[in-house]
Amino acid sequence: MDSVNSGMNRRSGRRGALLAVAAAVVLLLCGGVVGYGVLADEEKPPPAAAETAEVTYEVSGNGTADISYLGGGDAGEAVVEQGVVLPWKKTVRAPKGKAPTVGVVLDAKGGQATCALAVRGRHVQRATATGTFGRATCTGTPG
């Protein structure tokens, strides 16, 4: 009977050792994955800020109009201002790669309004809207 018990103890001991080795391997793998994730996050450079150019939008004339333009910031989203009393002027830092644009729509009273666009202080385009709900758009080359 002792030989049977000693054989079982050896097998139990081997199983225990194998389980301990397997657990150690799993822990090492988990530690490696976590360590890689931490190191991978540290190696990534922060995103670069988008390059911008100074853009000046101007609408001259009398009365009121709706004005839309490419806004500033990295996203350069469209901005709409309604019922603006003219004259109006706005300077923003617009992202390079997006065409700066300003549009004007006169109200029901009509009249005349001229939009102008300058990139980095250099005149790019001018257009005139006339009459009831007259429209004009000025677009430039991306800075």
pLDDT of residue 40: 53
Cα–Cα distance, 25 to 30 (Å, whole number): 9
Confidence at residue 3, expressed as pLDDT on a 0 to 100 scale: 53
Name residues whose C-beta falls within 8 Å of residue 95's C-beta, 6 or more positions apart in sequence.
Answer: 50, 51, 52, 73, 74, 75, 76
Q: What tokens appear for 52 in the block? A: 């911008």
**Which residue type occupies 31?**
G
Spans of all domains in the chain: 1-44, 52-139
pLDDT score, position 37: 52
- 3-class DSSP assignment, residue 14: helix
| Bond before 47 cis per omega within 30 degrees | no
Which are the contacts of 60, defined by CB distance < 8 A and separation ≥ 6?
Answer: 86, 87, 113, 114, 116
The CATH code of the domain at 52-139 is 2.60.40
pLDDT digits (tens, 9 = 90+) for 20-54: 555 555 544 545 544 555 455 556 665 566 688 99
Q: Which of 87, 94, 136, 83 is nearest to 118 (CA)?
A: 94
> For each of the chain's 143 residues, which pLDDT tens digit applies?
555 555 555 555 666 655 555 555 554 454 554 455 545 555 666 556 668 899 999 999 988 999 999 987 777 889 999 999 999 999 999 888 889 999 999 999 999 999 999 999 999 999 999 999 999 999 998 76
